[in-house]
Chain A
Amino acid sequence: MRQTFLAQLEELNNDVIKMGSILELSMNEMIGALYEKDIEKAKKIIDRDDEIDLLEQHIERECVNIIAKQQPLASDLRKITSIMKIITDIERIADQCADISEYIIKLSKYPQMEEPKSLELMIEAMKKMVINTIDSFVEADLEKAKAVIEADDEVDNDFEKITDELSLTMQNKPELVPQCVCYLMIIKYLERMADHATNIAEWITYIVTGDLTVG
């Protein structure tokens, strides 16, 4: 048995789970900040982004080290190469939490407008995808990964719906254009978060099955 190697793999796995947990925290706080227009919370999320970036760099270095020194093969190789892709997506999702937080701060400078109708649905669908993605990594659960991939259409539909709604609002109430623009940016970021979650789910599928379907 390759004890050192197995220990390195386990540490790598734990680091990815840790990165996922920080992401989940940021995402939940971002959603809270958005609903409550909480500027302080939004600022905290922006500050936390550095932590995720550092962790990503650390994991990346670990992966390169393991490849160089242990020459992993088969499921180990799949896992390590996939982790290198997965952490990029986690980092992007965290970035988007920070990006949305910037728009929460911007939004707070304008008079409040009524939230787009499907926003909550879109947020819940996206949130479920991200959480399922992290869970499916931890549990190597193919079913959950599949559910994430299938749920992406739902988020895309919500995005289209809200875009139409915001477009109408801007036509009918030009004074709300600045707020609507902020919401447009926010839903675009939400939609991208779901895309990145889908990518991660595809990499998890590859880790488990060896079938490369990532498109």
Chain B
Amino acid sequence: MSDKVKFTVKDLDLFYGNFQALKKINMSIEQGKITAFIGPSGCGKSTFLKTLNRMNDLIEGVKIEGEVTLDGVDIYKDFDAIMLRSRVGMVFQQPNPFPMSIYDNVAYGPRIHGVKKKSALDEIVEKSLRQAAIWDEVKDKLKKSALAVSGGQQQRVCIARTLAIEPEVILMDEPTSALDPISTIKIEDLATELKKQYTIIIVTHNMQQAGRISDKTAFFLTGEVIEYGDTEQIFNKPVNKKTEDYITGRFG
């Protein structure tokens, strides 16, 4: 994959009422890579992740200034939020399958976007579940409730649901924090596999996870990006003392 920039963020400020949660964020996020956001709780990393598909729009009292562009187009000015989210999918901390069958979960997005034909839906469902590395585990229980499988499997069904609308970017907000180590490794392997086709941005509290899977890492602190660079550099030789203190656990 080339170093083509997917998102460009310029002087982004975000306020919750009077509280400034993001301060002058400037960042280029590269296509086809895994970018990890790390930092202590309340540092703004999840808030920033959500600005990338306008999930903060729904929160009352939020004010956003600055610019975020996707492939050069301003996502706050020149995008419809629904259109944006079909290109920028999201996976959350707690697996959140809809209370319906595995099949219907994955087919949900394509149906909303107008796919009606059963054979076409069948194809999308199988392809998405295969991409999410869970097809073999659920192919015989597609009609069963998505809530009936394990947490790790639910999370992969949610990833399949995200993939079914063929987004370009997948945002992951602590996708493995509720999962056991084996399910965690499966999601990590999956993310590494998916970056061949998608741009992945992941918020994680698990520093080792950021080290294992990401190409780029950004360290956030009190609403600012303290350091952003190649993961190898951040984990071996961070430039900023605050980054060093955080990743070596000499913090607070």
Contact = CB atoms under 8 A, between A and B. Distances in A.
Interface of A: 1-2, 5-6, 71-78, 210
Contacts of A77: 235-236
Most-contacted residue by chain A among B208, B237, B247 (CB, 10 A): B237
Contacts of B238: 74
Interface of B: 207-208, 211, 235-238, 243-244, 247-252
Contacts of B249: 1-2, 5
Nearest to A71: B208
Contacts of A76: 248
Nearest to B245: A74
A75 B251 CA distance: 14
Given A71-B208, A77-B236, A210-B236, 19 more contacts: A1-B249, A1-B250, A1-B252, A2-B249, A2-B250, A5-B249, A6-B250, A72-B248, A73-B207, A73-B247, A73-B248, A74-B236, A74-B237, A74-B238, A74-B243, A74-B244, A74-B247, A78-B236, A210-B237
A171 B238 CA distance: 59
A75 B244 contact: yes
23 contacts: A1-B249, A1-B251, A1-B252, A2-B250, A5-B249, A71-B208, A72-B248, A73-B207, A73-B235, A73-B248, A74-B235, A74-B236, A74-B237, A74-B238, A74-B243, A74-B247, A74-B248, A75-B248, A76-B248, A77-B236, A78-B236, A78-B237, A210-B236
A5 B252 CA distance: 15
B146 to A, nearest CB: 34
A78 B207 CA distance: 17
B182 to A, nearest CB: 19
Contacts of B250: 1-2, 6
B39 to A, nearest CB: 15
Nearest to B238: A74
A120 to B, nearest CB: 42
A90 to B, nearest CB: 24
A201 B143 CA distance: 65
Contacts of A72: 248
A144 B207 CA distance: 35
A140 to B, nearest CB: 14
Contact of B211 (A2, A5, A6, A73): A73
A76 B250 CA distance: 11
B1 to A, nearest CB: 26
A77 B235 CA distance: 9
Contacts of B236: 74, 77-78, 210
Contacts of B243: 74
B77 to A, nearest CB: 40
Nearest to A78: B236
A57 B249 CA distance: 27
